Amino acid sequence: MAARLALAIAVALPLHPALAQLDAQGKSDLPGQQSVDPELDPFPFDGRLALRAYFKQRLPSMWWANEPEYNLGHYSVTVHVPDSWRGNPTSALLALCPHAYSNLWTGIRSFEVKAMYKNAPWPGVTCRP
């Protein structure tokens, strides 16, 4: 008898409207934060990861980049140029922008690359497809 009662409760609980609404809204206490259905998009686009991987492949030796930042819907990356390097860092950053056919543009519309050269910030470059 107890097993039948437990089975009836287990079947009826998901049908309760309040519980169904709670499950649809997600488990987060933040408004608008819903759980992602893994069947819809099992590998969502991560802009920071994509930029990190791109710059890891493209930066010359002895150059390094900070972790990409995302602020107000826009990504930015600071690239540190070694002190022994000669040239204009801002023009060198233009060569680091991806080509128009790059896979990076599938999830990012634009991003800014800023140079840090000889412990001083230099003007940045905005990369677009």
Residues 81 and 71: their CA atoms lie apart, in Å, by: 23
Cβ atoms < 10 Å from Cβ of 32: 7
Q: Is 75 inside any structural domain? A: yes
Judge whether 92 lies within some domain: yes
How many domains is the chain built from? 1
> Per residue of the chain (129 residues), what is the pLDDT tens digit?
665 655 556 555 555 544 444 444 444 455 555 665 656 766 778 899 999 999 999 999 999 999 999 999 899 999 999 999 999 999 999 999 999 999 889 889 999 999 999 999 999 999 999
Both tokens assigned to 96: 């680091």
* Cβ-based neighbour number of residue 115 at 10 Å: 22
Q: Report the candidate in 123, 114, 108, 5 with the shortest Cα–Cα distance to residue 53.
A: 108
- Helical residues (DSSP H) of 13-78, grouped into ranges: 17-25, 47-58
Distance CA 87, CA 63 (A): 14
Domain assignment present for residue 35? The answer is no
Note the pTM of the prediction, 2 decimals.
0.65
For residue 73, the enclosing domain spans 63-127
Domain presence at residue 99: yes
